[in-house]
Copies of this chain bind each other. A is one copy, B any other.
Amino acid sequence: MTGTHHDVAEFALIDRIRARVANRGDVILGIGDDAALLQVPAGKHLVVATDTLNAGVHFPHDTAPADIGWKSLAVNLSDLAAMAAEPAWCTLSLSLPESDTGWLDGFLDGFLALAAQHRVALVGGDTTRGPLSVCVTVHGFVEPGRALLRTTARAGDDVWVSGTLGDAAAALDHWRLGTAHDEVLRARLDRPTPRVALGLALAGTAHACIDISDGLMADLGHVCRASGVAAELDLEALPASEALRAAYEGEQRHALQAAGGDDYELCFTAPAGSLDDIARLAAQAGTAVTWIGRIVAGEGVQVFDADGQAWLPSKVGYEHFG
């Protein structure tokens, strides 16, 4: 308990961050004052999301600083992607057990590499002492009426998902067991790809959208509840990476795909008959998408196996709080 919020060592960290930050024309005033001054484009809505990653909860303690930096921004950009928002700015609140410039430099390597990919300017934040924790808030823009919501799925819609499912959960499973390590899977856990271009491309065509952080069934369940509909998924249609197929098969692979979290793929619904449009938009965005089921009247998410039998994973979701 120090009684102050900042100190000499902390200012050195802030200077270190400030020296590496890129700018944008719409940042009137960035890091260095009590707050940032920003210019939202006329006629656009501001889109804001925030997410915290805590050591040992959201990433294994042995995660490289650069990967923590990347992931802390990626999970937030993924929220903007799911809204079809164009990313613009972020703030970073970093709690560190001790002042460690080597750790910070590594963290910034990952954080700023992803920020540069999406032209996101880091405009403010704080560093403070505490258990390792990273809180990021991202800001983006969307034209009024163009945002993709959770409330707008309709019975009859197709359900789609980007990329592949279960890779991050597989890497976590490997890490937990300590038995195997696959670079490709681990990279999917440590460096998720926010599907920003896909989200933007889908605006105006897709109906509802969410990013998959808690697992496909759980997250699509949120969409269904918010929209007052149900979903029927085809288990065999769920996309799997080669790495996942090589490491897991059958029931275990299916559970990872349907219920494993941390993939940060987009799950979205679109009107039946928009198959060609979706394929074209996804190709333009450079992101593979797969049809996995449909929205129907009712409630809940049901998954059907190759025999048309209702299927449940052995464990749906995990709990933070006991």
Which A residues fall within an 8 A CB radius of B? 1-10, 28-29, 32-40, 42, 45-52, 54-60, 75, 79-80, 82-83, 85, 89, 91-93, 95-96, 98-99, 123-126, 128-131, 133, 135, 137-140, 142, 144, 147, 149-151, 168-169, 172, 175-176, 209-211, 213-215, 218, 226, 260-262, 317-322
Contacts and interface: CB of A to CB of B under 8 A. Distances in A.
A84 to B, nearest CB: 10
Contacts of A50: 91-93, 124-126, 135, 137
Contacts of A125: 50
Contacts of A92: 50
Contact of A9 (B45, B57, B58, B321): B321
Contacts of A99: 320-322
A124 to B, nearest CB: 6
A197 B39 CA distance: 23
A112 to B, nearest CB: 18
A131 B129 contact: no
Given A93-B50, A320-B7, A83 B214 contact: no
Contacts of A260: 3
Q: Which residue among A59, A131, A168, A210 has the maximum number of chain B CB atoms within 10 Å of its CB?
A: A131
A272 to B, nearest CB: 24
Contact of A176 (B1, B172, B210): B1
B35 A2 contact: no
A5 to B, nearest CB: 4
B48 A139 contact: yes
25 contacts: A3-B169, A4-B214, A4-B320, A6-B218, A7-B320, A9-B321, A28-B144, A32-B226, A33-B149, A34-B210, A35-B47, A37-B45, A37-B46, A38-B46, A40-B40, A46-B139, A50-B92, A50-B126, A52-B95, A55-B130, A98-B321, A98-B322, A99-B320, A99-B321, A130-B131
